[in-house]
Structure 1
């Protein structure tokens, strides 16, 4: 979708959606990956989870998290379009290893445990608002599970405007 494509990753609660919204507000092209590209599927094959399996596991945050993936063909099609100067793909997926090499830069939003807990406390009716989801997010935060290891860290504890300024500075 752009001449330069940037992946902004991070664990739940690090601010990926807020960053995408602020980038859009400033006139940049941002894709809310968790809203536009995500579905429940097999991270290795991309095969969608059947409705029956999804229904059976709808209260299992670990299953939901493990199968939260992006449509690889759609990601690659968006990246291949060179009509926009820069596109920011914001969100998390358990199959990023299938397309991460296609990005010009990969940034990971990082926050401390206290900030994460404060952000989760403010959630209502979204991922992380239920006790079992929160417990999973806190375990993932401690283990850094499913976070790209070779990405550039971004301190996302600062005010949103400062975080976005930092991202834009790093992306030229």
Structure 2
């Protein structure tokens, strides 16, 4: 939906949803990918699957392509994670990866309700900790953003870097 399009990624608990909310509050066009584009499917084929497995949390590639093709906005931020980002990452002008230390990550996950992913199930927490360490689920070569700062400062940095990219 933007003339320029950016992906904001990071492991669960790094602040993608909070950043998206703040971008929207400031008047930017920002899409909650995990709410608006995500479904459970095979990362290779896109075919829907049953259940709620982390490795099957993917985005509708056709929807991403359509949103990027629509250039009604000067800039659009796509916030969230997907296991099939390799299918559409080339559409973005840049990728920001939110990074936090393990203590901050654990504190944020502790604050989540048990019903939210990563909030209460030990297996989910173990997976998040592993992904935080290995970074296997996030795009390589993204611009690292220190997400331990306040949401306002994190968004200030993302906006600054995206405007420098004009």
TM-score normalized with structure 2 length: 0.95
1:1-172 matches, within 5 Å, as: 1-49=1-49, 53-54=50-51, 58=52, 64-124=53-113, 125-129=115-119, 130-172=121-163
**Superposed displacement of residue 135, structure 1:** 1.2
Q: Alpha carbon RMSD of aligned pairs, Å? A: 0.8
**Superposed displacement of residue 33, structure 1:** 0.2
Structure 1 residue ranges, 4+ long, deviating more than 4 angstroms after superposition: none
Distance 1:153 1:11 in 2: 12
Structure 2, unpaired ranges of 5+:
none
How many residue pairs match? The answer is 161
**Superposed displacement of residue 96, structure 1:** 0.2
Which structure exhibits the higher relative contact order, with contacts defined as CA atoms closer than 8 Å and separated by 6 or more residues?
1
Distance 1:23 1:83 in 2: 17
TM-score normalized with structure 1 length: 0.92
1:61 corresponds in structure 2 to none
Structure 1, unpaired ranges of 5+:
59-63
